[in-house]
């Protein structure tokens, strides 16, 4: 029987760095992730839509990217996503909580990464909030 793969907690900020209901971009161990706070719960997903590669969030903890910010060089981001008003937001519909692709509006469940088009699901990652530190567990 194989031994479980060891995990490591990677600190990404304090709970106050993550506004409730707003997606925040973080890089952890070379991974571009989206962290979404829902009250006391935190969710981490891949920060790129698998359809065309648009990033869900462009700004990191405590940042608000303005209209004069540069866009990502790998994939052109939608113009609306370069303003603070267009930040990635959590949407609740009953028990389902989603974030939407900024280009085409495709919704992704923040807990499972699932979307209505099964081949376009997002990877999800465990987030641990311990006192004043929020970490992604890889």
**Span 51-65, pLDDT tens digits:** 888 899 887 775 543
pTM above 0.85, yes or no: no
Asked if residue 75 belongs to a domain, the reply is: no
Number of structural domains found in the chain: 1
Q: What is the pLDDT of residue 126?
A: 97
Comparing 92 with 86, which gets the higher pLDDT?
Answer: 92
| Residues 6+ away with beta carbon under 8 Å from 92 | none
Q: What is the dihedral of CA 24, 10, 138, 45, to 10 degrees?
A: 0
Confidence of residue 87 (pLDDT cuts 50, 70, 90): low
Asked if residue 1 belongs to a domain, the reply is: no
Per the structure, the complete domain to which residue 47 belongs is given by 9-57+88-137
Asked if residue 44 belongs to a domain, the reply is: yes
CATH code assigned at 95 = 2.102.10.10
Q: Could you give the CA distance from residue 74 to residue 95 in angstroms, rounded to a whole number? A: 35
């Amino acid at each position: 029987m194989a031994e479980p793969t060891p995990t490591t907690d990677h600190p990404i900020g304090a709970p106050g760095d993550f506004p409730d209901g707003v997606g925040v971009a973080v890089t952890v161990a070379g991974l571009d992730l989206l962290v979404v706070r829902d009250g006391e719960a935190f969710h981490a997903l891949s920060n790129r839509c698998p359809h065309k590669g648009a990033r869900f969030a462009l700004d990191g903890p405590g940042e608000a990217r303005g209209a004069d910010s540069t866009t990502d060089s790998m994939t052109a981001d939608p113009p609306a996503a370069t303003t603070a008003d267009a930040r990635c937001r959590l949407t609740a519909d009953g028990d389902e909580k989603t974030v939407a692709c900024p280009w085409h509006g495709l919704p992704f469940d923040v807990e499972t990464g699932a979307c209505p088009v099964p081949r376009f699901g997002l990877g999800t990652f465990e987030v641990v909030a311990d006192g004043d530190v929020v970490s992604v567990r890889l």
